[in-house]
Structure 1
């Protein structure tokens, strides 16, 4: 690679947002350099555990004590990393960060980023979400509305393949869906119970998930979901959407993409005389060599907190406190979703029924509070939804003393009783003092300042958490389930792995970092399209919204480029 080459665009990051930025810019004819801080992961070729079985791992996939030390913060999420997928999560000893207040930062540094391991739940926002800040006098108003983003939701859903059920809800708009996956018999029972026992608009549906269920030629080499439920290892069939199986190959097919892995971008270069960004500074992850690459347009898609860190490090005469930070807004308004609290229960009956395959999806109960006068809550604003599932399992087979010989063999062949559980995902408000800063004295192995998190759940979030548990218990008890128990795992913000904010969109440069097209107000050839741009958080999984905004911003950038606005 030649450092003297001036690329039409530079994309930082290869995850959900970076892949879409690369695809749209390249398909619009822009010569695009894509930089990833981690190693290369090639689709199929580098999914080294994709066909492994549980018995291929000692300790049933549990990490050794030595590995648990390496992943001590990643392990806070409870279900990851495990031995079969630890290579897709960062080593916390090699990639440290600081916590003035607890923040559970779950990361994957490699080509494809967390698009390989994401949960794939894909929901649209509505104007209930885009207008909430303005209507409630909280934080600042979004500079866009649903009508601005709806066409881009269409484009993204049709390209990645989202399966789901049409519901006709104004607060959870329907999309361009593939055929929905099926609920099992217990989930169908719960669906009927909710419809019968509650009159506040709550309902249950199958999750809207980025899995192809009906293959067509338009998916360019991707096949339908095989119901293996080994998604986070990388899918050799391309059944679910990832950058590796979809957007990055599309960008590569144009001949306009140059991809460089092991490239830690730490600064956007801003030219004070030209009043624009001219490139990025990079440290090679392996050699520690310092490099500079030139570009006319910069897209920051490194993930919300990483992109925020890059902005804070990008200092110049014009921006002494970081790019776009002359009004002290970069790094503020950090958000996440509530996670790992809800309810579990046992279900009598249905012992003559089972299910086919390992469905990589669960049921979804959309938001049903604070939508109208009838559902208005006195203790908190905004809302929450639930994701869950029912299954059969027999814990006795893991205990040798529970049987032996013929009895053991027969017990292992019989599935256990039905169990059901669900966890709430609730909205977190954009509190101005929830922030991330650069550590003044702690640096990483490349000499870069570590991020320091000062983020917490406040009164609205604490009261919402109580409601999430209460309503989950009420739903299961109304269905007649047994041994209903609420649960609430000790957690901090970040554990939902939906971290947002740090460079929010808005109308006014004094109170926001980005305009309605994701451009830095005072440096319009710099776009930020990962979770950093979020002005509020809604209660639905945000990745579909990141993709829609990224596609919109990349096409806006391409139009501006063709009009010589960035020359």
Structure 2
């Protein structure tokens, strides 16, 4: 590569937002360099475990003791990584960080980032979310409202393919949906029970998931979901949306994309005389060489905490504490969704019914509390939703303790009874003292300061958790299900893998880092469009919102560029 080339734009990161930034910038004619700190992952050919079964591994997919040590923080999530997907999660010994208070930072360093392993749940925000901070006097006001983002939600949903059903809910706006996946018989029973047993507007729907659910030629290079539920290994059919199957190939088709893996961006270069960013500094992850790349626009899409780290390291005369950090706002107001709690139950009957395939999706119960005076709850602000599913249990539960011979052979051919469970996802408020800083003495293997997290759930979240459990139990009992049991696992911020904040949007440069277009206050040619820009958290999965804001910001950057604002 020629280091003297001045690119029109540099995009840092290739995940959910980096892919979208690359697509929009390249399709609008900008010569764009995309930098990824991890190795290359080519769509299909590098999904090396995409067709494996558990019996293909020595420990049936479980990690060895030595690997569990390597992934000791990634394993906190409880369901990952396993042998079939460990290569899409970071080695914690190679990529350490510090925890003044516990923070579960789940990461994937490769081309495609966590777009390869995300949960694919895709929900819009409403003005209930965008207006909450202002109405309640919490933190700072969002500088946008739903009407500003709605057309970009339309664009993103239509492009990535989101299956689901429109419901007409004020707290969960409708969208551009492909046909919904099917609920199974037990989930339909639960759905009907909620209609008859509760009069507060709560309902159950199939999850809104970024999966193609019909045969169509509308999605270049992608086919419909095959219901294999092996999504996190990389989908060779392109059935679910990822950067690798969709946005990065779109950027490449323009001829305007240059993609450089193994490039650890650690600083945005700010020119004090020109009063703008002029590029970025990287360390080559393979050679340890330090290189500078020049551009007229910089998009930080490295994931929320990584982008915050880059801002904090980007020091200059104008910004001695980090780019955009003259008022000590970079790294503050960190959020996540709190989960790992809910309830489960046994279900009698339906033994003559089963389901076809492995649906990579579950049901969703939208927020139904604190929406208005009628649904107001005491003890906490904001709300929560539930994700869950029903299935027939493992055959081993049907085998008597001493079963053997003919009885055993017959038993293992039959599925067990039905069970159902659901997990709550609750909104976390933005607290100014929940923050991440650069460690003063701990460095990584490239000599860069490690991140140090000081983040915790507070009283509002703890009070909400009690109600999440109570309502889950109440709904399952109202449906007549048996052996209803609540659960509440030890957890900390980060474990929802929806880390947000650190460079929030706002009206006032003294209390926020970014303006309404995702530009750094005072440095308009630097945009931050991953989860760092979030001013509050809502209770729904945030990736669709990240993508919508990224598409909006990229098109704003294009207009500014073509008006020679960044020359």
TM-score class normalised by the smaller sequence: over 0.9
- Structure 1 residue runs without a partner (length 5+): none
Q: Which residue of 1 aligns with 2:486?
A: 486
Q: CA deviation at 1:398?
A: 11
Distance 1:403-1:348 versus aligned 2 partners, 3 A rule: same
Contact in 1 for aligned 2:399/2:408 (Cα 8 Å): no
Q: Which residue of 2 aligns with 1:12?
A: 12
**Aligned residues: CA RMSD:** 1.0
Q: CA deviation at 1:54?
A: 1.6
Deviates more, 1:408-417 or 1:195-204: 408-417
Q: Which residue of 2 aligns with 1:548?
A: 548
- 1:459-499, Cα deviation, whole Å (9 max, x unpaired): 10010011111100000000011110100110100000000
Contact in 1 for aligned 2:399/2:412 (Cα 8 Å): no
Q: CA deviation at 1:399?
A: 8.2
Paired with 2:410 and 2:334, the residues of 1 have a C-alpha distance of 53
Q: CA deviation at 1:286?
A: 1.1
Distance 1:399-1:501 versus aligned 2 partners, 3 A rule: farther
Q: Does 1:85 align with 2:56?
A: no
Secondary structure of 2:412 counterpart: helix
Q: Which residue of 1 aligns with 2:97?
A: 97
Q: Does 1:2 align with 2:6?
A: no
| Aligned counterparts, 1:319-468, within 5 A | 319-394=319-394, 396=396, 402-468=402-468
Distance 1:77-1:399 versus aligned 2 partners, 3 A rule: farther
Contact in 2 for aligned 1:402/1:408 (Cα 8 Å): no
Q: Which residue of 2 aligns with 1:533?
A: 533
Q: Which residue of 1 aligns with 2:223?
A: 223
Q: Which residue of 2 aligns with 1:283?
A: 283
Paired with 2:273 and 2:560, the residues of 1 have a C-alpha distance of 21
Q: Does 1:263 align with 2:263?
A: yes
Contact in 1 for aligned 2:395/2:413 (Cα 8 Å): no
Q: Does 1:302 align with 2:276?
A: no
Paired with 1:40 and 1:485, the residues of 2 have a C-alpha distance of 44
Secondary structure of 1:247 counterpart: helix
Q: Which residue of 2 aligns with 1:517?
A: 517
Q: CA deviation at 1:214?
A: 1.4
Q: Does 1:140 align with 2:168?
A: no
Query: If the length of structure 2 is used for normalisation, what is the TM-score?
Result: 0.99
Structure 1 stretches of 4+ with a deviation exceeding 4 A read 397-402
Q: Which residue of 2 aligns with 1:238?
A: 238
Contact in 2 for aligned 1:13/1:37 (Cα 8 Å): yes
Paired with 2:146 and 2:371, the residues of 1 have a C-alpha distance of 17
Distance 1:487-1:561 versus aligned 2 partners, 3 A rule: same
Q: CA deviation at 1:405?
A: 2.8
Paired with 2:259 and 2:408, the residues of 1 have a C-alpha distance of 54
Paired with 1:246 and 1:398, the residues of 2 have a C-alpha distance of 44
Q: Which residue of 2 aligns with 1:197?
A: 197
Secondary structure of 2:191 counterpart: helix
Secondary structure of 1:58 counterpart: coil
Contact in 2 for aligned 1:335/1:537 (Cα 8 Å): yes
Q: CA deviation at 1:394?
A: 2.3
Q: Which residue of 2 aligns with 1:562?
A: 562
Paired with 1:408 and 1:49, the residues of 2 have a C-alpha distance of 32
Secondary structure of 2:11 counterpart: strand
- 1:263-311, Cα deviation, whole Å (9 max, x unpaired): 0000000000000000000001111110000000000000000000000
Secondary structure of 2:252 counterpart: helix
Q: How many residues align?
A: 567
Contact in 1 for aligned 2:425/2:540 (Cα 8 Å): yes
Q: Which residue of 2 aligns with 1:113?
A: 113
Contact in 2 for aligned 1:397/1:411 (Cα 8 Å): no
Contact in 2 for aligned 1:396/1:402 (Cα 8 Å): no
Q: CA deviation at 1:170?
A: 1.0
Paired with 2:354 and 2:374, the residues of 1 have a C-alpha distance of 39
Query: If the length of structure 1 is used for normalisation, what is the TM-score?
Result: 0.99
Deviates more, 1:392-401 or 1:98-107: 392-401
Q: Which residue of 1 aligns with 2:503?
A: 503
- Structure 2 residue runs without a partner (length 5+): none
Contact in 2 for aligned 1:397/1:412 (Cα 8 Å): no
Paired with 1:338 and 1:491, the residues of 2 have a C-alpha distance of 8
Contact in 2 for aligned 1:336/1:500 (Cα 8 Å): yes
Deviates more, 1:394-403 or 1:117-126: 394-403
Paired with 2:478 and 2:398, the residues of 1 have a C-alpha distance of 32
